[in-house]
Structure 1
Amino acid sequence: MSRKRYVGNSYLLDQESVMEMGRLIDLDVLVTKHMGGHFPPDIDLTKIHDILDIACGPGGWASEVAFAYPDKHIVGIDISQAMLEYAVAQARVQQLPNVEFRYMNAVSSLQFPNASFDLVNARFMISFMWKEAWPDTIKECMRVLRPGGIVRITDTDQICSSSSSVALEEMSAIIARAFFCTGRSLNEHEQCTHPGLISRLYGFLQRAGCAKIREQAHILNYSTGCPAHLRFARNLEIVLLALQPFLREAGVATQQQLDELYQQVLIDLRKDDFYGIMYFMSVYGEKAAEL
């Protein structure tokens, strides 16, 4: 199957959808919990004053940080008007004067002066990044950082996850092929069952001039009986349904195939012996003083 390159909006899902907003709000809470908090434990927060949250969605992480750390100023950016309106409204209700949200495309030049922030945070940019955009996007993150500032990228190669469901594994393989065919996968072979991002993040940061790069692995266990099971299973159900137009247009599956797999996934997620784990990773480093 030949590789194609789509143009226009790069998001896999409808970022103006109310259902997608609700999914992201819930996922944000789960992810932060399984990361052990808002920041890695080895970061000196006394040196962090201005924070940029890239592709902030409905503003969950940014608002939580603003609430927990009233001495810090947080800016969230996104291209979804619906997400930004929700984020602004929530910040107003919570009376958070130290957080703001702006319309901005993460894969274009960031509309901030050099050395504007002490920390740049981004989660799951794989949902909208073209293969070729990664190096320039990381460089932009470095540009807006102050010397000694930290860039942290949290992402995954598991679009679905690892599980006991054969149908879910097949869906994951289909999504990986769609990533390849639409110019999102960093792998060079269509047969690869993942986008190949996680192993490359260290190199991206290193080539952009990052120093003291660290990697922090995370696990979200959503097997039956685990605390995250129902919430993450519901998240998967929403994602797999919303992805169907993208998968059809990429030419990697028919609607009948997607319907059959989706119905089986719904059954599998509710089995007493279902197990599933999502692996993701944070890679972060510092901007050297001479950059």
Structure 2
Amino acid sequence: MQNEPKKEITGTYYVQDRKSLQELERLTIQGQMMTREMGGLLPEQEDPSRFQRVLDIACGPGEWIIEMARTYPHMTLIGVDISSSMIEYAREQARVQHVDDRVEFLVMDALLILEFPAVFFDLVNLRCCVGFMRTWDWPKMISEMRRVTRSGGIVRVADAEAEAGHTRNACPALTQFSTLFCQALYEAGHLFEAVPSGLTAHLVPLLQRHGCRNVQTRTSPMIYQAGEPSGEAFYRDMKRAFQTLRPFILKWSGKPQKDEYESLCQQALEEIQGSDFYNTWNMHTAWGIK
């Protein structure tokens, strides 16, 4: 499984420049922020100690599974991603944090097949997948997730609503950006409807429809507030997101020109830096039993 491609594989992720250090940093910040605000790595699982072997699909820079290794020393963990740049970065982070003896990162296109034996993992995780999953990809993905999960194991999917959160105060530019982002995701096939819940509202029925039982869901409101570390993390995340998502939004939303987009993003950043900024962004987790 260590045979790496010589160049990036063309994929469906909405940021095409996956070698961008800015995108690696953005995903790391965003992942750590989500884990903290959700209340932990597996906050909905009563007894994570029962999971011995864990797979993280579309692991990106690896921050979730590296933190899993640091938190649960008994686990054997594997992360896969289509991007060789992401995988190289994740491997280096695992080495730096001294967990590379228990974490393996592999280049793999999960939309084709999960290259693992059947009934191999206790838990299979897919988090923050709206960026590459299209509506028609779900049946095969869930089928593969179930195939590699042992009987009684957990199939887990988690993602945030497709917007930049709900603001308590007027943030017209941030609201307009969210509308453009939702429209672009819908036009590109990533959402079932052009609304913030265009994916998250479908997670439970998707798992139920494709063979998982006892499906449950948990909503975690992530709160970002001016003057707090969470507010600063949200600013840094959105500052990078505005730039890395620009080609995708300009292509698929069909509305702003480049100059208009830059002006909109600058206004949104000013809103986020306002002294009264308060934002909630809902993260939804759905999980079922194989």
Does TM, normalized by the shorter one, top 0.5?
Answer: yes
| Aligned residues between the structures | 276
Corresponding position of 2:43: 40
In structure 1, give the amino acid aligned to 2:236.
Answer: R
State, as a whole percentage, how many aligned pairs show the same letter: 36
Q: Counterpart amino acid of 2:255?
A: V
Aligned residue in 2 for 1:106 = 110
Q: Render the CA deviation track for 1:93-118: whole Å, top value 9, x for unaligned.
A: 33321110000112221111111100
Choose from 213, 236, 239 the match for 1:237.
239
In the alignment, is residue 171 of structure 1 matched against residue 177 of structure 2?
yes
User: For residues 262 and 95 of structure 2, what CA distance do their matches in structure 1 show?
Assistant: 41
d(CA) in 2 for partners of 1:124, 1:159 = 13
Partner SS state of residue 228, structure 1: helix
Deviations 1:125-173 (A, max 9, x none): 0011112112221111111100000011111223322223110111111
Question: Which of 120, 124, 137 is the equivalent residue of 2:124?
Answer: 120
Q: Which one of 126, 129, 136 corresponds to residue 132 of structure 1? A: 136
CA distance 1:109–1:150, change in 2 (3 Å): same
Report the TM-score, using the length of structure 2 for normalisation. Answer: 0.90
Q: Contact 1:222–1:233 (CA<8 Å) still a contact in 2? A: no
Counterparts in 2 of 1:46 and 1:272: CA distance versus 1, 3 Å = closer
Alignment match, 1:223: 225
Match of 2:256 in 1: 253
Q: Flag structure 2 segments of 5+ consecutive residues without an equivalent.
A: 1-9
The 1-side partners of 2:38 and 2:250 are apart by 33
User: Who is 1:3 aligned against?
Assistant: none
User: Does the residue aligned with 1:212 lie in a helix, a strand or coil?
Assistant: strand
Residue number in structure 1 paired with 2:147: 143
SS of structure 1 residue aligned to 2:266 = helix
Counterpart-to-counterpart distance in 1, 2:45 and 2:95: 31
Aligned to 1:58: 61
Distance 1:270 1:252 in 2: 26
Moved more, 206-215 or 37-46: 37-46
Please say if residues 180 and 195 of structure 1, whose CA atoms lie closer than 8 Å, have aligned partners that are also in contact: no
**Which amino acid is 1:285 matched to?**
G
Q: TM-score under structure 1 normalisation?
A: 0.90
Helix, strand or coil at the partner of 2:117: coil
Gaps spanning 5+ residues in structure 1: where? 1-7
Deviates more, 1:90-99 or 1:106-115: 90-99
Question: Alpha carbon RMSD of aligned pairs, Å?
Answer: 1.5
> Hey, what does 1:5 align to over in structure 2?
none
Determine the C-alpha separation between the residues in 2 that align with 1:193 and 1:257. Answer: 22
CA contact 1:34–1:220 (8 Å) conserved in 2: yes
* Structure 1 residues 147 and 237: CA distance shift in structure 2, 3 A: same
After TM superposition, list the pairs within 5 Å mapping 1:1-80 onto structure 2.
8-13=10-15, 14-80=17-83
What SS class does the counterpart of residue 127 from structure 1 fall into? coil
Alpha-carbon shift at residue 121 of structure 1 (Å): 1.0
